Amino acid sequence: MENYIEHLTAKNSEYIHVVTRKLVKIGKSDDEIKAILSDILPKIVEAQDQRVLAKDILGTPSEFTAQYAPAVAGGKSGKTGTSQNDNETPVLMWLDSSLLMLGILALMNGLMAVFSKNAKTYGLITLVTMSLAAGFVMYLMFRLIYKPQSEGKKTASLKTFGTLTLGFLGWITIFSLTMLLPKEINFSPVGYVTAAIGALALGSRYLLKRKYHIKSTLATQPSQNSKKA
C-alpha cells in the first residue's frame, strides 16, 4: 500500500488524507482502513495516469465514506448523507453563486423599475457579467478562506490577500466597463421582464443544486456529512 501512496499526486494524496480522517471518525479500525485503502489505491493510481482524479471515480470523500458509516435507526445506512450539498466542483460552485447573484440583482432591479419610474436600473449585459464576476469572487473566498477554515488550516497570507484583491478589482473593472456600453447594446428590459429573469435564475439554481448537490460558496462550516462522519 505504501508504494501506491508514494505515487499519488498532491490532490489525490490530500483526498486519501481526508478519506482516512473520515474513516477514523466513523469508528473504523486501523485494519479496516488499511483494507479499504488497499482496495482503492490501485484504482486511483491507475486513473491518475489518465489524468482522472480520485473524486471523479469515487465521489467526494464524504460520498465515499458514507457507504462505510454504521446503520442508523430505521435501517437506513450512512449513504443517506450523499443527498447533502457536498459537490465542490469549481465550475458548478461558480455557476451556483453566479445564478444566486443574478437572481438577487435582477429581482431587485426589476421590482425597483416596476414601483418607481425614476429608479436607476442596470443593463442586461451589466447584470449578467457582474453576476458572473461576483460568482467567481465568491468562489475564491470559499476556496481560499472558508474551506481552509473548516479544515482547521491557516488562511491569513499575502498570497490569499493578493488573490482576493485582484478578484475584487476585476469585478469592479468589469462592472465599470459594461456601464460604458451604449444603451442600445446594454439595454435594460422592462421591470417585469428583469424580475422574471431574476426568478428564472433562482429557479435554475435550485434545480441545479437539487440535481448535482452543489455546495454553496457561502458555506463557512463543514458539511453535515463531515459532522456525521
For the chain (length 229 residues), average pLDDT per consecutive 10? Answer: 76 88 87 88 86 85 82 43 68 94 94 86 93 94 82 74 91 93 92 94 94 83 43
**The model's pTM:** 0.60
Quote the CA–CA distance of 58 and 53 in Å, as a whole number. Answer: 9
Angle at 89 between CA 19 and CA 69, to 5 degrees: 30
